[in-house]
Structure 1
């Protein structure tokens, strides 16, 4: 369980450091757009009041606190499930830590700013991606994929 907590803490820290560096350090909050390696990678300022890709977004304080509560409850339930079902499986602990750390990074933003800070935009091959995301979203996605992978392996070998 220590590994899960360590990974979650590291992910939370990396997410917040990346946001502070890019959004405030590079002044993306004022510049709104920075070409890094266009079109593959650009920094675009975004304020997300919803979940991924702005789904269920709303400017109401109620929806903000519902999303905060939901993220905390899901993180706690995930930690409990991994502890009970896969407590010694290091892959599951790392994957859960990625999800929890990413979720808590976005929770921090919602509490501190009222929305999630997004700044990453990736496009390729003539397709212009209109969505922005952040490092926490990458951790959540990678962690969810890891949970599926390691859980199915455990079931097949268990």
Structure 2
């Protein structure tokens, strides 16, 4: 099932190219309205998901980097052990792996993750995210879907 790692590579490339474009063409905290409910807003996330631990003084950079690297190794091993019929698992894990590596690159190089997708309703804003975060979320959604489909097939 290692053939699905191209999806991880594609995720990393799209994620990094988008972040380079944002960093090169926008100022920090600049926001570009795209349509009602969605902006491109350039921010730095020093923490993890939803800026978790972002105000902790810097130790979290290396903690999350080591955690992401360790999880990435575990995911590659997991993918390698999948059976040929476990295609959706391979796709899910490849998306999660690509997202983890995309954000890991940011943490190691910059000390923060570049985020820019800003979804909102009136004055309420979802935490700003990026392509790597989207890939991780999509991978998790696929895994949850697969677990429901598998349970129905076993019943």
Shorter-chain TM-score bucket reads 0.7 to 0.9
- From 66, 69, 76, give the equivalent of 2:66: 69
Q: 2:118 is matched with which residue? A: 121
Q: 1:9 is matched with which residue? A: 9
Kindly tell me: are residues 154 and 84 of structure 1, through their superposed partners in 2, closer, same or farther at Cα, counting changes over 3 Å? farther
Q: Which runs of 5+ in 1 are unaligned?
A: none
Q: 1:149 is matched with which residue? A: 145
Q: Kindly tell me the number of residue pairs found equivalent between the two proteins.
A: 154
Following TM superposition, the consecutive aligned residue runs of length 4 or more in structure 1 with deviations greater than 2 angstroms are 1-4, 58-62, 78-88, 151-158
Asked if the contact 2:82/2:90 (under 8 Å) is kept, the reply is no
TM-score, normalisation: structure 1: 0.85
Aligned partners of 1:19 and 1:78: how far apart in 2?
24
Query: Is 2:153 aligned against 1:138?
Result: no
Asked if the contact 2:72/2:100 (under 8 Å) is kept, the reply is yes
Kindly tell me: are residues 75 and 137 of structure 1, through their superposed partners in 2, closer, same or farther at Cα, counting changes over 3 Å? same
- From 107, 126, 138, give the equivalent of 1:110: 107
Q: 2:30 is matched with which residue? A: 32
